[in-house]
Amino acid sequence: MRPLEFILNTLFPPRCSSCKQEGAFLCKSCQKELKIKPISPYKKKEKEFEYLDGVIYGMDYEENPAVQAAVKQFKYKYTKELGKSFAKVMNTKIGELNMTKNKDIELVPVPLHKKRYNQRGFNQAEVLVDYLAKEREVEITPVLKRIRNTSQQAKLKKEQRHLNLKNAFLLNTNFVHKKDNIIFLVDDICTTGATLENCAKALKNGGAEKVYGLVIARANK
């Protein structure tokens, strides 16, 4: 532990975001409570999106109060450390996928608009990608840019969400798709999938072949 971290931990000991017990941001017993889902086999006819090839997620959001509490703390109370536990779950999910066995993968964080980034001080998707890249040796490809400061998706109805994000993302002109690579678009939660779908659209228009969403948990559509 670094000296500053030690002092901070002594003054403000971490508390479990779910049960509030002192000691860790997500205590051992709450970690055991996480209801991690097995990967469901992907069938082409069930294709939900036009551009996105599917969404890989570790947990169901609504079924899992421990995850709800931890995600809120991660995002709104700047507890980056929680990203490490989430990245572990996400990494396990990548490992369970047959399609990743002999392929190279790339991680693309869903970008925040500059204005929102400056308010929050960090992008939760970038934090997840950083931890994930440490878990497995993969490339981080930060090639997307958010060009419009859109309304917060959570405040909108399902029908408005897609429209709100239309053409909100731009692909860097230096993006070169490496053949056969699988791209994982990383974000915290997927609800309707409108954010991931709009990012996937930008990537596919730029030549990407396979683009999957990779999130901590999936919420009801």
Tell whether residue 24 is a contact of Zn ion (CB under 5 A): no
Dmax over CA atoms of the chain, in Å, equals 55
Tell whether residue 18 is a contact of Zn ion (CB under 5 A): yes
55 vs 217, beta carbon nearer Zn ion: 217
Percent of the chain as helix, strand, coil, to the nearest 5:
40, 20, 40
Of the ranges 6-14, 22-30, 39-47, 139-147, which one interacts with Zn ion (CB under 5 A)?
22-30
Sole binder of Zn ion in the list 25, 27, 82, 168 (CB under 5 A): 27
32 vs 45, beta carbon nearer Zn ion: 32
Tell whether residue 67 is a contact of Zn ion (CB under 5 A): no
Tell whether residue 16 is a contact of Zn ion (CB under 5 A): yes
Cα 181 to Cα 184: distance, rounded to the nearest angstrom = 10
Q: Are 199 and 108 in contact (CB under 8 A)?
A: yes
Sole binder of Zn ion in the list 19, 69, 99, 140 (CB under 5 A): 19
Structure-derived torsion over alpha carbons of residues 37, 201, 194, 106, reported in degrees to the nearest 10: 30
End-to-end alpha-carbon separation of the chain, Å? Answer: 41
Residues that bind Zn ion (CB under 5 A): 16, 18-19, 27, 30
